[in-house]
Structure 1
């Protein structure tokens, strides 16, 4: 097995998180106000919003798990754009939806154009573009070996 089907984010307020990600353009087909878990259909994977404390319980069962929301946990999520202008557009949409812009988009050392934001629950997202990137017919970034 060589795939990632779901990326689950533990969120403090599932309705605010749904509104945020829908505002960024993620497609969600369940708009019921009492949805226990929310899935967004993306090309290649699904993004899942899961109430944070319930996610911790799902992982640890009856053993209490410490939830740490401070600092950087070593994980970032990425949106790879097909045009440089898409980076600016996504960053502005994220800002307007309440995200913290951590790094404004700039030309970076590897030759691309990239910026970072933190979503409403503190997850770091990179939004990036590079002239040399190619995408397959499912809009997945092609990384040649």
Structure 2
């Protein structure tokens, strides 16, 4: 067999959630478009503009990965999701939007030590999101992040 070329890709973020209906409603309320609805509440997929956000029952995700589902981490897990913005005003609006949809504000937006501006919220299962405008990281007209070489 010939050597196969492997191209690394980041395509899906899957979050383990306690309550599928609640989490589906939360992410839909943020404005993410749910796709592939034929999966019902077994798994939910959302188009995020370049990658996919998947929601899956916490215990089933742990079992699928061969990990115990208990005890569940109740505090920071060392992972954040990011929502890059074009301006400080957009950061403030995005944080207000998320909190208005049921997110918990973890840290109000403020200047960062690297010259940006950002804050944090948590979804209903405690998954942490950073909302930020960062110098050197631009967003294209399509909303996708563009990094310098």
TM-score (norm 2): 0.85
Structure 1 stretch 118-127 or stretch 75-84: which is displaced more? 75-84
Corresponding residue of 2:14: 8
Cα contact 1:15–1:33 (8 A) shared by 2: no
Asked whether 1:140 is paired with 2:147, we answer no
Secondary structure at the aligned position of 1:104 is classed as: strand
Cα distance in 1 between the residues matched to 2:36 and 2:54:
12
Q: Does 1:42 align with 2:48?
A: yes
Residues 1-145 of structure 1 correspond to what in structure 2 (within 5 A)? 1-29=7-35, 34-60=40-66, 64-130=68-134, 132-136=136-140, 138-145=142-149
1:53-93 per-residue CA deviation (whole Å, 9 max, x = no partner) reads: 11111111xx7443423111110110001232221121112
Q: Is the 8 A contact 2:17 2:23 kept in 1?
A: yes
Unaligned runs of 5+ in 1: none
**Offset from partner CA, 1:99-140 (integer Å, 9 cap, x none):** 111100011111111000111001110000135432346532
The CA deviation string for residues 26-71 of structure 1, in whole angstroms up to 9 with x for no partner, is 11135679431000012210000001111111111xx744342311
Larger Rg: 1 or 2? 2
Counterparts in 2 of 1:31 and 1:144: CA distance versus 1, 3 Å: same
Kindly tell me the number of residue pairs found equivalent between the two proteins: 143
